[in-house]
Amino acid sequence: SDLQKQEERGELLQPLIFVLLVLCSVLLYFKVSLMDPGFVKPEEEVKEGENKGQGVVIPQIPGDVKLRRCGYCLVKQPMRAKHCQLCQHCVRRYDHHCPWLENCVGERNHPLFIVYLSVQLVVLLWGGHVAWSGLYFEQSWEWLQHNIFLLVSFLLIFIFTIVVLLLLVSQLYLISCNTTTWEFMSSHRISYLRHSELENPFDQGIILNLWRFFC
């Protein structure tokens, strides 16, 4: 049959990989949006977690900076945590609240968020290539009627690709500096950054920053 011939020529492999990438993207979306981004636990558990490894990831912080108690959920915030008004929780290593995910991006789901963006970018680039390859341009109303769906699809894919690409590049840059979106945008209002002698007291070099983030 035609299907068997296409399989023998390897023509079904690319569509299969594309579908798997789309499925992987959808699963990552639900995983990142539904998982705990790193909500701060009650004070007793926070202290236990800080004793275990907090000093390893937070070097060179001025001694006069004290942990503050959140005015909303009344827990003692670890360093780099922030209260999210939309989630109604304090989030460890808070990066930002993503409206697309309806969830915060924090300590626990930030690496998966980067993986999700990467897979999404590959899907968009592949989809854009497919949409573009299906277009042939003619200056006529009949051509526009027959190709309007592909044209609109390509324009939408192009816009989403630019957005995802810019977001991914900016996230990778901040990760390589070991800083978060919140810290980058609000460093003048954050006590442990405002009182620090260094511009970024968490930066330990690009390689070590990336290693500690992803591994």
Which pLDDT score, from 0 to 100, does residue 191 have? 83
Which pLDDT score, from 0 to 100, does residue 130 have? 83
Query: 3-state DSSP helix/strand/coil percent for the chain, to nearest 5?
Result: 60, 5, 35
- The per-residue pLDDT for range 43-75, each reduced to its tens digit, is 644 454 445 444 334 444 555 556 678 888 888
Active-site hit among 70, 73, 87, 98: 98
Kindly report the pTM of this predicted structure: 0.81
> In the chain, which stretches have pLDDT less than 50?
44-46, 48-50, 52-60
Burial of residue 191 (number of CB atoms within 10 Å: 0-12, 13-18, 19+): middle
Which pLDDT score, from 0 to 100, does residue 113 have? 97
Q: Could you tell me the end-to-end alpha-carbon distance of the chain, in angstroms, rounded to an integer?
A: 48
Which pLDDT score, from 0 to 100, does residue 54 have? 43
Which pLDDT score, from 0 to 100, does residue 25 have? 96
Would residue 98 show up in a list of annotated catalytic residues for this protein? yes
